[in-house]
Structure 1
């Protein structure tokens, strides 16, 4: 198991659910609503799991490989994208399923998510496969799968300041490297 593959699998499922929405008759508002609700919760959970597990590990690997600038920029961009996706999800919630405004908002969410996934697949995931050995990617995959399973009912959407996120993650990494955190913390992820 590899965290980069789990993330790719999630991306596939997100694309599949957006495609399903496009194929449902607009008069089937109850069906549109439940499929959207599932997708919205999944998008939120996926972003949060990446923020909790993947991006701190990407930062750690990049810093260790003396590529901090590149992974910091990728992480800043990813957190910004996650905020845009959260905002797009909130916009969909403002409209009744099946209306023109609802479809416009869903299309905007799909666009924001698609742009993020493409960039992440091209950059963050590729970099992490190059920087982190498979045993580490496996441990992170286990943590990622467990996080998504524990939070299957969804997470509270919270926008984050991208620079603050990176700063906090790097502070935790420095603390772990200096040994001030207990065994089993970020130092081993």
Structure 2
């Protein structure tokens, strides 16, 4: 098990749910609402899991490999993208399900999410596979899967300042063992 694969699996599920929405008759507002509610909750849960587990590890690993600038830029961009996705998801709620405006808002959320996933797949995930040991990617995968399982009902969406996010992760005291004390990765 590898955290990068779990993230890719989540991306596939997000794409699948957006595609399902496109195939439901617009008059079936109950089905549209159900699928959208599941997707909206999943998008936030995925973003939070990445922010809690993946991006701190990417920063830690990149800094250790003297790739600070690259991983900082990738993380800043990802947190900014997550905020844009949150805003797009919130906009969908402002419209009547099945209306032209609702579909336009869903399409905007899909675009924001698709742009983020493509960039993350090209950059952050690729960089992490190059820099992180398989054992670390496995430990993070276990933490990531458990986090998503514990939060199956969703998490509250909260925009984050990308610069503050990166600085807070980097300011954590890194013990001699190199762990940023992320989730169950705390080493005794």
Q: TM-score range by the shorter chain?
A: over 0.9
Aligned equivalents of 1:12 and 1:115: distance in 2?
14
Q: Which residue number corresponds to residue 185 of structure 1?
A: 181
Q: Does 1:37 align with 2:67?
A: no
Summarize deviations over 1:10-44 as a string: whole Å, max 9, x none.
00000000000000000000100000000000000
Q: What are the residue-to-residue correspondences of 1:1-189 with 2, within 5 Å?
A: 1-172=1-172, 175-177=173-175, 185-186=181-182
Q: Secondary structure at the match of 2:96?
A: coil
Unaligned runs of 5+ in 2: none
Aligned equivalents of 2:149 and 2:38: distance in 1?
14
Q: CA deviation at 1:96?
A: 1.1
Matched residues, number: 185
Q: CA deviation at 1:184?
A: 8.8
What is the TM-score normalised by the length of structure 1?
Answer: 0.94
Aligned equivalents of 2:186 and 2:119: distance in 1?
27
Q: Secondary structure at the match of 2:155?
A: coil
Quote the RMSD (CA, aligned, Å): 1.7
Aligned equivalents of 1:170 and 1:131: distance in 2?
18
Aligned equivalents of 1:167 and 1:48: distance in 2?
17
Aligned equivalents of 1:64 and 1:39: distance in 2?
36
Unaligned runs of 5+ in 1: none
Q: CA deviation at 1:178?
A: 5.5
Aligned equivalents of 2:62 and 2:48: distance in 1?
20
